[in-house]
Amino acid sequence: MSARKLVAGLGACAALLAATAGCGGSAPSGAAGAGAGRDSGPVKIGALHPVSGANAVDGQQMRRGAQMAVEAINAAGGIRSLGGRKVKLETGDTQGKAEVGQSEAQRLISEGAVGLVGTYQSAVSTNVSVVAERNRVPFVMDVTASDAIFSHGYKYSFRVQPGSAAIAGAAARYLKEVSEKAGKPVRKVAFLHEQTDFGTGAAEAFAKAAKKLGIQVGPNISYDAVTASDLTAQITQVKASGADVLAVAGYYRDGLLAAKAINAVKPNLNAVWGVSDGAFDQPKFVSDVGALGERYFSTNYHYDAKNPATVKLRAEYQKRYGAPMRTGAVLAYDAVQVIAQGVERAASTDPEKVRAAIAGSQVQPLTVGTGPISFAPNGDNKNALPVLMQVQNGQIKQVYPQDKAESQPNYSVTWRP
Amino acid sequence: MSDTTANIRAAALRGPVLKRAALTGGLVAIAIAVALIRSGSGLVVWQSVVTGLLTGGLYGLIAMGLTLIFGVLDIVNFAHGALLAVAMFIAFGVVQGTGLHPYLTLVIAVPALFLIGAFVHRGLLSGSGGATLENQLLITLGLSLLLENGLLMFFGAEPKTVALPGDFQFSLFGAVVTGGRLYAFIGAILIGAVLFYLLRRTRFGTAIRAVAANGQGAELVGVNVRRVHTLTFAIGTACAGAAAVLAAPLVTVTPTLGDQFNITAFVVVVLGGMGNVAGALVGGLLIGLVEQLTTIYMGGQSSLLGVFVVFLVVLFLRPEGLFGRKS
């Protein structure tokens, strides 16, 4: 009797959650709304981020980053080609849900946004890119790892950060180069990753790139990031496999678990190697795990620590909000700049003209790149560059490639001579 | 009822329980043997078993409060996870504010959760609003949303950690055991024993069991059913408070942390038998093991898969749970 009640309860709960999520559902395609209110008043840029829910910290960071970009543009005189019209950020909360992001995107477009930035999560960006495409409004992604969006031939989707395959490829290449330079060439890489598209995609792309470089990859160990509360058994598996490098692709919380488990098991590694990992290059990670995280590597997109403009922006953020500005927020800043400069060059608030201008962008980024932000025909940033970082004396330093390095890589782990 | 008949009844009950326990143990042994063949590394399997049991103790601890509430009040408390999160934030706040040892926050978190539980039951659930299953679901689910978002507003979404001073680790025949997990495991067993004693050996425990067995009957013999309900709910949430303090150094404290444990805790409750505190502990250990062994079987893919397979099989074969009694 009671068991039946419980099952009924669980079912009802699932249905209820689905229903509340569904309420946000897709708004009708608003061709009529698409032109409203763009010709007068401030130029509106829509920012979609998860400012509530599990990813709220990053979402809030990114919204603030976008807001700071808008303020910088207005302080510099607004959009000059439109007679100095001011820019205004219209914000939407995706709550980390694809459906909500979709309806919020529709709302922002109906309210007259000339372009959208967002959204931190690939699943949400996937839906928003469809809305953008349908309404013919440019959508410049700040953080979105998935490469699938750029294989559909969309014309209105752009991305500032390097994609997941680009990061994984760079991670494999850097690993080979750095390990050889250190005189301990990599033999075998164990890959620990969370089990959704993000982690699995990173692992597959890494394995493919590593194979080309003659690096053996295995075992491939995945885990459920939502429920995992201990990764000791997984790290024991790494130890038993005899791998000399452990590559990790996960989120923040499980990154802490991995660090604790690595410290407990102490496998015979030469390096711990983050691949677009959500923990190892966060200042918060260093303060949370302390000495455990020392010498961990991470290949990821990153704010350009050697660019004076970035340093200034981050200092301002720190002053205003009392927390270090994360790379996601700097990317949001870059994305807003891309749209604003598109409007500037188009000298118009017509989203289609703005889109054409963005496609020919040459925007100086505050994140690491090999040159100005400029987009390939599929919308991906051609000059995005993943960078290798390492925790050194409790600081996260850029260590490779050479011209972006703040310090030299130390290819070793703390628990082995 | 005379002593002899009671003994005969107890023996008659104990027989099948022992048999089922033996059967479960046998199945676990087979599962471990298969894992050994599958993985080929004794160390990996041994570590998985140790980790599984230690994590399982934690699951059992969390599920104990839930099973008490469920077994006695018949309330599916979806807010249990959120209450767990509240207790963790209390522990976090006290450690931050006063620098107390994390385990000493038990003195604050457990009574606080007891009061919150009593208040929630009296204020929200015991009235006519909480009479039907649907209303209970909506109230507890709504409460969990309220608590989670309240924590989000108050503490922010930044994940927090509670450090355990003097944490150590040792090797148990090659498997790594960390102090924090061992303490949580021992704590789970101690709290389980206390609850068991409370239910079986005290007057109040007898009243709780009487209410669980037959509310109307209990009322007729003079038990204050409403009071027992409120106290049971409060004790259940206090268990969540204790679990939260013991688990706080092991996890990352976030407002949505309850979700991580909620589903597992419900599975453990059903597995162990509704309202059966010892069953919840055994069920927790089993689920912890199943989770770890599944990762070996499936090459790491979704440990929850194995958990739900076991859940469904148990529901199918023994809907009243492994150690529950037929209602």
The residues facing A47 across adjacent strands are A91, A117
Confidence bin at A33 (pLDDT 50/70/90): very low
Q: Which residues of A touch B254 (CB under 8 A)?
A: 54, 253
Q: Which residues of B touch A52 (CB under 8 A)?
A: 149, 152
Q: Is the pLDDT of residue A200 over 90?
A: no
In the prediction, which pLDDT does A23 show? 39
Q: Which residues of A touch B78 (CB under 8 A)?
A: 9, 13
Q: Which residues of A touch B316 (CB under 8 A)?
A: none
Q: What number is the average pLDDT over the span A12-37?
A: 44
Nearest to B55 among A226, A230, A264 (CB): A230
Confidence bin at A392 (pLDDT 50/70/90): very high
Q: Is the same domain home to A337 and A216?
A: no
Q: Which residues of A touch B280 (CB under 8 A)?
A: none
Q: Which residues of B touch A256 (CB under 8 A)?
A: 161, 252
Asked, for residue A12, whether it belongs to a domain, the answer is no
Residues sharing a CB contact under 8 Å with residue A268, sequence separation 6 or more, in sequence order: A239, A242, A244, A416
Q: For residue A356, give how far its alpha carbon lies from the nearest alpha carbon of chain B (Å).
A: 38
Q: What number is the average pLDDT over the span A278-299?
A: 90
Q: What number is the average pLDDT over the span A59-71?
A: 95
B317 and B270 in contact (C-beta within 8 Å)? no
Closest CA to A275 of A302, A243, A248: A248
Nearest to A2 among B74, B152, B158 (CB): B74
For residue B137, give the amino acid letter: L
Q: How do residues B168-199 score in pLDDT, each as one tens digit? A: 888 888 888 888 889 999 999 999 899 989 98
Q: Which residues of A touch B259 (CB under 8 A)?
A: 226
Asked, for residue A248, whether it belongs to a domain, the answer is yes
Q: Is the pLDDT of residue A34 over 60?
A: no
Asked, for residue A209, whether it belongs to a domain, the answer is yes
Q: Is the same domain home to A242 and A325?
A: no
B270 and B315 in contact (C-beta within 8 Å)? yes
Q: Answer left, alpha or beta for residue B156, where phi above 0 means left and psi between -120 and 50 means alpha.
A: left
Residue A266: is it exposed, middle or buried by C-beta count within 10 angstroms (0-12/13-18/19+)? middle
Per-residue HEC secondary structure of A27-62 comes to CCCCCCHHHCCCCCCCEEEEEEECCCCCCHHHHHHH
Q: How far is CA A139 from CA A87, A96, B114, in A?
A: 17, 17, 50
Its CATH class, for the domain covering B40-317, is mainly alpha
Residue of B nearest to A265 (CA): B176
Confidence bin at A16 (pLDDT 50/70/90): very low
Closest CA to B47 of B185, B175, B180: B175
Q: Is the peptide bond before A414 cis (omega within 30 degrees of 0)?
A: no
Nearest to B133 among A5, A52, A284 (CB): A5
Per DSSP, helices labelled H in A111-162 are 122-135
In the prediction, which pLDDT does A162 show? 92
For residue A358, give the amino acid letter: I
Which regions of A143-244 does DSSP assign to beta strands (E)? Answer: 157-159, 188-194, 216-223
At A59, which CATH number? Answer: 3.40.50.2300
H or E element: which one contains B176? strand B175-178
Domain span at A140: 41-162+307-359
Residue of B nearest to A239 (CA): B44
H or E element: which one contains A92? strand A87-93
Q: In chain A, pLDDT over 70 holds for what percent of residues?
A: 91
B326 and B86 in contact (C-beta within 8 Å)? no
**Yes or no, beta carbons of A230 and B51 under 8 Å apart:** yes
For residue B66, give the amino acid letter: L
Residue B30: is it exposed, middle or buried by C-beta count within 10 angstroms (0-12/13-18/19+)? exposed
Q: SS3 of A325, please?
A: coil
Q: Is the same domain home to A277 and A169?
A: yes
Task: Please state the separation of Cα B315 from the chain's center in Å.
Answer: 18
Q: For residue B250, give how far its alpha carbon lies from the nearest alpha carbon of chain A (Å).
A: 8
Which regions of A207-296 does DSSP assign to beta strands (E)? Answer: 216-223, 245-249, 271-275
Nearest to A222 among B51, B301, B304 (CB): B301
Angle (CA) B96 B102 B104, round 5°: 110
Closest CA to B258 of B89, B81, B97, B93: B81
In the prediction, which pLDDT does A27 show? 40
**Yes or no, beta carbons of A288 and B161 under 8 Å apart:** yes
Which residue out of B49, B66, B137 would a mutagenesis test of the A interface target, given it has the greatest number of A Cβ atoms within 10 Å? B137
Q: For residue B127, give how far its alpha carbon lies from the nearest alpha carbon of chain A (Å).
A: 20
pLDDT, mean over chain A: 88
Confidence bin at A307 (pLDDT 50/70/90): very high
A26 phi/psi in degrees, rounded to 5: -75, 130
Nearest to A223 among B47, B141, B295 (CB): B295
Task: Please state the separation of Cα B118 from the chain's center in Å.
Answer: 19
Q: Is the same domain home to A95 and A192?
A: no
Angle (CA) A202 A204 A206, round 5°: 65
In the prediction, which pLDDT does B8 show? 58
Q: How far apart are CA A303 and CA A285, in angstroms?
A: 17
Q: Is the same domain home to A264 and A392?
A: yes
Q: Is the same domain home to A194 and A205?
A: yes
**Yes or no, beta carbons of B266 and A226 under 8 Å apart:** no
**Yes or no, beta carbons of A57 and B327 under 8 Å apart:** no
Nearest to B157 among A16, A56, A234 (CB): A56
For residue A406, what is the DSSP state?
A: S
Q: How do residues A80-96 score in pLDDT, each as one tens digit? A: 999 999 999 999 999 88
Label the pairing between strands A188-194 and A113-118: unpaired
Q: For residue A240, give how far its alpha carbon lies from the nearest alpha carbon of chain B (Å).
A: 7
Which residue out of A7, A197, A227 would a mutagenesis test of the B interface target, given it has the greatest number of B Cβ atoms within 10 Å? A227
As given in the structure block, the two tokens for residue A138 are 């440019």
Q: For residue B227, give how far its alpha carbon lies from the nearest alpha carbon of chain A (Å).
A: 22
Q: Which residues of A touch B74 (CB under 8 A)?
A: 2, 5
Residue of B nearest to A235 (CA): B44
Nearest to B176 among A55, A221, A265 (CB): A265
Q: What number is the average pLDDT over the span A64-92?
A: 94
In B208-233, which positions are buried (b, 16+ CB within 10 angstroms) versus exposed (e)? bbbbbeebeebeeeebeeeebbbbbb
Nearest to B251 among A229, A239, A252 (CB): A229
Q: How far apart are CA A87 and CA A70, in angstroms?
A: 6
**Yes or no, beta carbons of A10 and B266 under 8 Å apart:** yes
As for the ipTM of the complex, it is: 0.78
In the prediction, which pLDDT does B76 show? 85
Confidence bin at A347 (pLDDT 50/70/90): very high
* Residue/partner pairs of A129-133 with CB below 8 Å, 24 or more apart: A129/A154, A129/A156, A129/A157, A130/A102, A131/A102, A131/A105, A131/A106, A132/A105, A132/A156, A132/A157, A133/A157
- Number of domains making up chain A: 2
**Yes or no, beta carbons of B52 and A226 under 8 Å apart:** no
Size of interface A-B (CB pairs under 8 A): 135
Asked, for residue A382, whether it belongs to a domain, the answer is no
Q: How far is CA A209 from CA A65, A206, B306, in A?
A: 33, 5, 33
> Scanning the structure block, which residue is given the tokens 């970009």?
A69
Q: How far apart are CA A115 and CA B184, in angstroms?
A: 51
Q: How do residues A237-262 score in pLDDT, each as one tens digit? A: 899 889 999 999 998 888 999 999 99
Q: Torsion over CA of A11, B78, A23 and A12, rounded to 10 degrees?
A: 20
In the prediction, which pLDDT does A3 show? 53
Q: Which residues of B touch A4 (CB under 8 A)?
A: 319
Q: Is the same domain home to A157 and A171?
A: no
Residue A56: is it exposed, middle or buried by C-beta count within 10 angstroms (0-12/13-18/19+)? buried
Task: Please state the separation of Cα B36 from the chain's center in Å.
Answer: 29
As given in the structure block, the two tokens for residue A307 are 């660019």
Q: How far apart are CA B176 and CA B178, in angstroms?
A: 7
Label the pairing between strands A188-194 and A216-223: parallel
**Yes or no, beta carbons of B302 and A6 under 8 Å apart:** no
Q: Is the same domain home to A348 and A392?
A: no
Angle (CA) A398 A198 A413, round 5°: 40
In the prediction, which pLDDT does B3 show? 53
Residue of A nearest to B270 (CA): A3
For residue A77, what is the DSSP state?
A: T
The residues facing A400 across adjacent strands are A388
In the prediction, which pLDDT does A28 show? 40
Mean pLDDT for back-to-back runs of 10 residues, chain B (327 residues)? 54 71 84 80 86 90 89 86 94 91 92 94 81 85 91 83 83 85 91 90 90 88 90 93 91 85 87 85 91 79 80 85 67
Residue of A nearest to B46 (CA): A233
Q: What number is the average pLDDT over the span A66-79?
A: 95
As given in the structure block, the two tokens for residue A208 are 């493919």
Which residue out of A229, A238, A253 would a mutagenesis test of the B interface target, given it has the greatest number of B Cβ atoms within 10 Å? A229
**Yes or no, beta carbons of B156 and A57 under 8 Å apart:** yes
Residue of A nearest to B42 (CA): A240
Q: Is the same domain home to A89 and A142?
A: yes
Q: For residue A236, give how far its alpha carbon lies from the nearest alpha carbon of chain B (Å).
A: 6
Q: Is the same domain home to A96 and A54?
A: yes
Nearest to B137 among A12, A240, A253 (CB): A12
**Yes or no, beta carbons of B47 and A9 under 8 Å apart:** no
Q: Is the peptide bond before A409 cis (omega within 30 degrees of 0)?
A: no
Q: Is the same domain home to A104 and A51?
A: yes
H or E element: which one contains B311? helix B303-317
Residue of A nearest to B321 (CA): A3
Radius of gyration of chain B, Cα coordinates, nearest whole angstrom: 20
A139 phi/psi in degrees, rounded to 5: -125, 110
Confidence bin at A271 (pLDDT 50/70/90): very high
Q: How far apart are CA A265 and CA A371, in angstroms?
A: 42
Asked, for residue A21, whether it belongs to a domain, the answer is no
Q: What number is the average pLDDT over the span A117-134?
A: 92
Confidence bin at A174 (pLDDT 50/70/90): very high
Q: How far apart are CA A139 and CA A157, in angstroms?
A: 5
Q: How far apart are CA A330 and CA A366, in angstroms?
A: 7
Q: For residue B34, give how far its alpha carbon lies from the nearest alpha carbon of chain A (Å).
A: 16
Q: Is the same domain home to A128 and A260?
A: no
Q: SS3 of B285, please?
A: helix
Label the pairing between strands A245-249 and A216-223: unpaired
Q: How do residues B102-120 score in pLDDT, each as one tens digit? A: 999 999 999 999 999 999 9
Q: How far apart are CA B247 and CA B143, in angstroms?
A: 22
